[in-house]
Amino acid sequence: MINQSLGFLIDQRVHGGVVNHITEPTMNTKPTALDAYLARTATIHAKLERLQQLADDHFGHDPDAIHWGHVGDLGRVEAGLDELLAIFGDGE
């Protein structure tokens, strides 16, 4: 029954002059540099928000149990952030 109904609808569209336009991406459709830039910018903003949440929560550490290993971890984070800022000419 379903196949017959589907066949009828296809036949009706082909022979009845009904055209179903469905736009699909073609092989020639490529994202632009701006599309990729905006997508990556959104991803970076989401990661920065997550980093801010972690920082607000002491990076998941109990403030009363901080040890030198935690300090070293934050030193690596700080160095990484400095490197990132330097990419954009904002190294302080």
pLDDT digits (tens, 9 = 90+) for 19-66: 444 455 556 778 899 999 999 999 999 999 999 999 999 999 999 999
Does residue 14 surpass a pLDDT of 50? no
pTM beyond 0.85: the answer is: no
CB within 8 Å of 92: residues ≥ 6 apart: 82, 85
Q: How far is residue 44's CA from residue 89's CA, in Å, rounded to a whole number?
A: 18
Q: Where are the beta strands (DSSP E) in the chain?
A: none
Q: How far is residue 88's CA from residue 66's CA, in Å, rounded to a whole number?
A: 33
Token code pair at residue 9: 């609808």
Instruction: Identify the pLDDT of residue 10.
Output: 45
Does residue 86 surpass a pLDDT of 60? yes
The more confidently predicted of residues 27 and 4 is 27
Q: How far is residue 69's CA from residue 78's CA, in Å, rounded to a whole number?
A: 14
Instruction: Identify the pLDDT of residue 90.
Output: 79
Mean local confidence (pLDDT), 74-83: 96
Location of structure tokens 């302080």 = 92
Instruction: Identify the pLDDT of residue 39.
Output: 96
Q: How far is residue 17's CA from residue 88's CA, in Å, rounded to a whole number?
A: 58
